């Protein structure tokens, strides 16, 4: 099942108790799903971090691939927000997938205190 994406600015805002996982390629934040039957993810790829559109597009493409590969690890009652870091441009597919797996595993163990 392919997840929908977060599109509204207000849905990207973080809560105080939202669990966060960090790695060299991205920071991922989980929050309670706005629509529990339709959990989503959002990508934050800024012009400040990636000056060229080619780099922003490549970062998004890589992240979407890693999310699709690790889809089974995403909780259905959480929305995920990925803040992409510059080091993602130096990542290969396997190391990125592994980093995503570790970050999602860490988040899976966390609880959201809503």
Query: CATH code at 96?
Result: 3.30.230.10
Residue 37's pLDDT is what?
77
**Rounded CA separation 60/82 (Å):** 10
Is 30 within a domain? Answer: yes
Question: What is the pLDDT averaged over residues 43-56?
Answer: 96
Closest to 110 measured CA to CA, from 19, 4, 25, 49: 19
Domain housing 77? 4-109
18: pLDDT confidence band, cut at 50, 70 and 90?
A: confident
Residue 24's pLDDT is what?
94
Is 55 within a domain? Answer: yes
3: pLDDT confidence band, cut at 50, 70 and 90?
A: confident
């Amino acid at each position: 099942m392919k997840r929908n994406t977060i599109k509204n600015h207000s849905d990207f805002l973080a809560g105080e108790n939202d669990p966060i996982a960090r790695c060299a390629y991205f920071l991922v934040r989980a929050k309670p799903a706005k629509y529990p039957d339709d959990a989503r993810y959002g990508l934050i790829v800024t012009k400040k971090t990636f000056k060229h559109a080619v780099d922003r597009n490549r970062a998004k493409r890589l992240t979407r691939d890693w999310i699709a590969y690790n889809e089974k690890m995403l909780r259905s009652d959480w929305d995920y927000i990925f803040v992409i870091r510059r080091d993602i441009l130096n990542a290969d597919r396997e190391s990125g997938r592994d980093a995503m797996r570790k970050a999602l595993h860490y988040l899976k163990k966390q609880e959201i205190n809503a």
